[in-house]
Chains A and B, each alone.
Chain A
Amino acid sequence: MSILNKQATILKLGDINYKRNKQIILHNLNFEISSENFILMTGQNGSGKSTLLKIMAGLLKPDSFDLSYKQCVQTNSIEKKNSWSAAKKFLRQNFCYLHQTPYLFSGTVYDNIAYGLRHQGLSRSEISHKVSEALKIIALPHLGNRNSYALSGGEKQRVAIARSWVIHPAFILLDEPFANMDKHSRNSAYDIINQLKEDNIGIILTSHDPHSGELDFNRHMHLHQGGMIEKQA
């Protein structure tokens, strides 16, 4: 593993339990992740991948959890979040979750990518600059004014990734991003994912297919019957 970046966020999540209608979905998960990781998370359909990602993004409340984190390696101070509302706030600030089929807001592609920038106190021109940069990275530089409903599935997925990229979270959680993509969209998505890595954004990418080829993961986690095992990457 690489030498930790100054800005790296290291997060320890423990005691994660989640039940739904009395069915145990996640059972006593314990793991540590760093924003330097590029993690592949596999597991069969229904094994709880989406559930876990939504918990990590602070979108779903687990039955129990234990969260501590270190934001800057040099200070070595470890902080804990004990209540869910505190943990939720932290998780929402640091994780960005992308749905398997992304939801684009009504409006233009530009509006969508700018959405997360609009409450960061940036000027119009800064926003516009970042959006056009993002459009270039997803190889859709001319689509800024296109209405979001008039995009193909693969284009939507790319716009959604760009929309998360511009706010630069510590982690981006990609929920089966390739499930609805053709080869061309896939290749373009690889480029964006590599860009995320370059920008020191931690990535967790789920797939029900254990051989999620061409990407250079440095960790592999596998969900099975509520538990998680770390596999050789």
Chain B
Amino acid sequence: MATLQALNLLFSGDTELWEIIFLSFSVSFRAILFSAPLAIMIAFCLAYLQFPARRFFIALFNTAMSIPAVVVGLTLYLLLSRSGPLGDLKLLFTQEAMIIGQMVLCFPLLVALSHATLQAVDRRAWETAITLGAHPFRAVFTVLKEARFGLTAAILAGFGRIIAEVGSSMMVGGNILHYTRNIPTAIALETSKGSFAQGIALGIVLLLMALLLNLFLTYIQGQGEHSL
């Protein structure tokens, strides 16, 4: 039975399987790492600065959250393909391309969730930091620290969005074994070939990860309430 084979693959330490899992996490981890700082900075500006187009940008990021992964993949593919405007970078079918795709995918979500969190931080936190003589940079850092649980939750949600995303990774990564094959593209490929065991094993990994992420999120939200 496929499920038993799947469990066997998982627990026997099948190199190919674990390589795919590692690659998946490595790509998504880097995507989050590169996009989170800028996303949080933008979220902070949207929450704390008054400028004319503020509402427009908030609406823009909220809309961008629901752009389908395949559309991102397609756009990126057209940009990066050999005849495309960025074709000279030779990034198509590389991990870098997958990372860029995932960054684009998680960016609006990170901005929107961080913005909601920072918006909810009491204004008095900022004023207190400033009136106690903190340089505005330190005051920003203080506000981010006050929002740390919400920001962690935003980052976890962003990670959840891209780790299981298949559309973009498939189009710009190309599902090359040892190089750009990650969990979702492997599941799609193996299933289309009719061999289910690896797909099921990877599916189990994704489910377990979703469970862990959510447990962690719940824990963090509990901590957040505690500190109010």
List chain A positions with a Cβ less than 8 A from chain B.
54, 57-59, 92-93, 95-97, 99, 101-103, 105-106, 115-116, 119-120, 147, 149, 163-164, 167, 169
In the complex, the chain A residue whose C-beta lies closest to that of B123 is: A103
Considering the complex of A and B, which 9 residue pairs feature the smallest CB-CB distances, nearest first? A103-B124, A116-B132, A97-B131, A106-B227, A103-B128, A59-B127, A96-B131, A116-B133, A99-B124
* Contact of B130 (CB < 8 Å), options: A92, A119, A149: A92
Instruction: Tell whether A149 pairs with B138 under 8 Å between CB atoms, given A97-B131, A105-B125, A105-B146.
Output: no
CB B150 to nearest CB in A, in angstroms, measures 12
A92 touches B131 (CB 8 A): yes
A59 touches B135 (CB 8 A): no
Chain A residues with CB under 8 A of B228? 149
Give the CA-CA distance A58 to B134 in the complex, in Å: 13
- Whether, in the assembled complex, B226 has its beta carbon less than 8 Å from a beta carbon of chain A, the answer is yes
Count of CB-CB pairs between chains A and B under 8 Å: 57
B125 touches A119 (CB 8 A): no
Which B201-227 residues have a C-beta within 8 angstroms of A? 226-227
In the complex, the chain B residue whose C-beta lies closest to that of A96 is: B131
- Whether, in the assembled complex, B82 has its beta carbon less than 8 Å from a beta carbon of chain A, the answer is no
In the complex, the chain A residue whose C-beta lies closest to that of B128 is: A103
B135 touches A95 (CB 8 A): no
Give the CA-CA distance A96 to B131 in the complex, in Å: 5
A92 touches B226 (CB 8 A): no
A149 touches B227 (CB 8 A): yes
B138 touches A119 (CB 8 A): yes
* Contact of A59 (CB < 8 Å), options: B130, B133, B145, B226: B130
CB pairs A–B below 8 angstroms (16 shown): A59-B127, A96-B131, A97-B127, A99-B127, A99-B128, A101-B124, A103-B124, A105-B142, A105-B146, A116-B132, A119-B134, A119-B135, A119-B138, A149-B228, A164-B131, A167-B133
* Contact of B132 (CB < 8 Å), options: A54, A101, A115: A115
CB A230 to nearest CB in B, in angstroms, measures 26
- In the complex, per-residue mask of B129-152: 1 if CB is within 8 Å of any chain A CB, else 0: 111111100100010011000000
CB B33 to nearest CB in A, in angstroms, measures 25
CB A38 to nearest CB in B, in angstroms, measures 20
CB A121 to nearest CB in B, in angstroms, measures 12
- Whether, in the assembled complex, B190 has its beta carbon less than 8 Å from a beta carbon of chain A, the answer is no
Chain B residues with CB under 8 A of A97? 127, 131
CB B147 to nearest CB in A, in angstroms, measures 10
Give the CA-CA distance A216 to B138 in the complex, in Å: 37
- Whether, in the assembled complex, B122 has its beta carbon less than 8 Å from a beta carbon of chain A, the answer is yes
Give the CA-CA distance A119 to B134 in the complex, in Å: 7
Give the CA-CA distance A95 to B132 in the complex, in Å: 9
In the complex, the chain A residue whose C-beta lies closest to that of B227 is: A106
* Contact of B133 (CB < 8 Å), options: A93, A99, A102: A93
Give the CA-CA distance A102 to B132 in the complex, in Å: 13
Chain B residues with CB under 8 A of A164? 131-132
Instruction: Tell whether A92 pairs with B125 under 8 Å between CB atoms, given A106-B145, A106-B146, A149-B227.
Output: no
B226 touches A103 (CB 8 A): no
Give the CA-CA distance A57 to B133 in the complex, in Å: 11
CB B219 to nearest CB in A, in angstroms, measures 16
